[in-house]
């Protein structure tokens, strides 16, 4: 078992003991992380090929390496991973995930269409079809699994070209690998540089602290953050121009390595607080 996976599973057990109300979600995440590693090892050919000669040009133009919406890709392996992930949902809601698997296998639901719907605006007809197949919790899991189904293949891209991206000086608030917006980030180094994290591909990139990653606002008086007493290693950066927020982890004092997949679940109460304050 890779060390990073072992550390993540250990962190999950620690948070389960400290926050038992997140136990079910953390259990699901643990299963996902193990399954992700298995399917990542199965990838012998790139699902998302990169034109290496265009990397620097794309970075300079603010274009991510992978165009998930317009690109044409063989999603056979992500589909296989998605169907394996649905077994996790099936254990928690017997029969509902099985019906979705049946519809996919019978061609009544197309995996590629579902993926596009999860990336861009969902297709209403597809949304109505999936709503017939389960309750809200199951549908939330399916939405999570659609995003996760691309993670092993995109993670391979991030790992292979991460150094070239860093050298290119990417300065956008969306991911340079796949274009998705971040939900969480962390402060690193003695200087406290801010790094944003992409759940879609697992890539982290440096981003200015006094700047909103969503609207580009740099006016210090309209940028703020809040923390919770006793949880100062977590904060929520907010923008009062676009009313968006991002969670930030600061483990510099304890010098522990943050697994931001795990930290995102462990800080769901911060999402709720931000939403209550009117931030999206």
Q: What is the pLDDT of residues 244-263, one digit of tens each?
A: 999 999 999 888 899 999 99
* 8 A C-beta contact, residue 214 and residue 203: no
Domain positions in the chain: 3-152, 170-276
DSSP 8-state code for residue 181: P
What does the pLDDT read at residue 135?
Answer: 56
Burial of residue 106 (CB within 10 Å: 0-12, 13-18, 19+) is: exposed
Q: Indicate the pairing of strand 223-226 with strand 204-207.
A: unpaired
The whole-number average pLDDT for the span 175-193 is: 95
Encode 26-45: b = buried (16+ Cβ within 10 Å), e = exposed: bebbbebbebbeebbeeeee
Angstrom distance (rounded) from CA 150 to CA 18? 31
Q: Would you say 249 and 187 are in contact if contact means Cβ atoms under 8 Å apart?
A: yes
CATH number for the region 170-276 comes to 3.90.1670.10
Return the residue matching tokens 């923390």.
227
Token match 């890539």: residue?
Answer: 203
- Candidates 204, 187, 190, 207; CA nearest to 247 is 187
pTM of the model: 0.91
Look at residue 93 in the predicted model and tell me its pLDDT.
74
- CA-based torsion, 212, 218, 222, 224: positive or negative: positive
Residue 150 has pLDDT above 90, yes or no: yes
Per-residue confidence (pLDDT) for residue 131, from 0 to 100: 47
Residue 85 CA to residue 79 CA, distance in Å, equals: 10
Quick check: 242 pLDDT over 60?
A: yes
Place of tokens 């590693």: 37
The whole-number average pLDDT for the span 151-156 is 98
Cβ neighbours of 65 (radius 10 Å): 27
Mean pLDDT (whole number) for 139-146:
86
| 40 contact partners, CB below 8 Å, separation of at least 6 | 152, 155, 156
Q: Are 200 and 147 in contact (CB under 8 A)?
A: yes
For residue range 70-99, what is the model confidence (pLDDT) as tens digits? 889 999 999 999 999 999 888 877 787 888
Backbone angles phi, psi at 248, to 5 degrees: -130, 135
pLDDT value, residue 115: 93
Maximal CA-CA distance, the chain = 55
């Amino acid at each position: 078992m890779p060390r990073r996976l072992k550390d993540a599973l250990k962190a999950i057990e620690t948070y389960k003991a400290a926050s038992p109300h997140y136990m079910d979600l953390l259990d699901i995440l643990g299963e996902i992380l193990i399954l992700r590693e298995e399917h990542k090892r199965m990838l012998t050919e790139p699902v998302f090929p990169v034109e290496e000669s265009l990397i620097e040009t794309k970075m300079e133009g603010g274009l991510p390496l992978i165009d998930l919406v317009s690109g044409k890709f063989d999603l056979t392996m992500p589909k296989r991973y998605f169907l394996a992930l649905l077994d996790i949902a099936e254990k928690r809601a017997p029969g509902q995930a099985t019906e979705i698997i049946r519809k996919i296998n019978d061609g009544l639901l197309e995996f590629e269409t579902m993926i596009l719907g999860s990336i861009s605006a969902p297709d209403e007809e597809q949304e109505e079809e999936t709503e017939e197949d389960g309750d809200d919790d199951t549908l939330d899991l399916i939405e999570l699994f659609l995003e996760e189904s691309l993670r092993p293949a995109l993670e391979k891209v991030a790992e292979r070209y991460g150094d070239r991206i860093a050298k290119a000086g990417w300065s956008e608030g969306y991911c340079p690998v796949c274009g998705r917006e971040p939900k969480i980030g962390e402060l690193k180094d003695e200087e406290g540089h801010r790094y944003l994290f992409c759940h879609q591909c697992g890539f982290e990139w440096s981003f200015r602290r006094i700047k909103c990653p969503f609207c580009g606002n740099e006016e210090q008086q309209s940028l703020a953050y809040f923390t919770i007493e006793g949880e100062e290693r977590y904060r929520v950066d907010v923008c009062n121009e676009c009313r968006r927020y991002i969670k930030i982890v600061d483990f510099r004092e304890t010098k522990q390595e943050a697994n931001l997949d795990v930290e995102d679940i462990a800080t769901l109460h911060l999402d709720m607080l931000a939403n209550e304050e009117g931030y999206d």
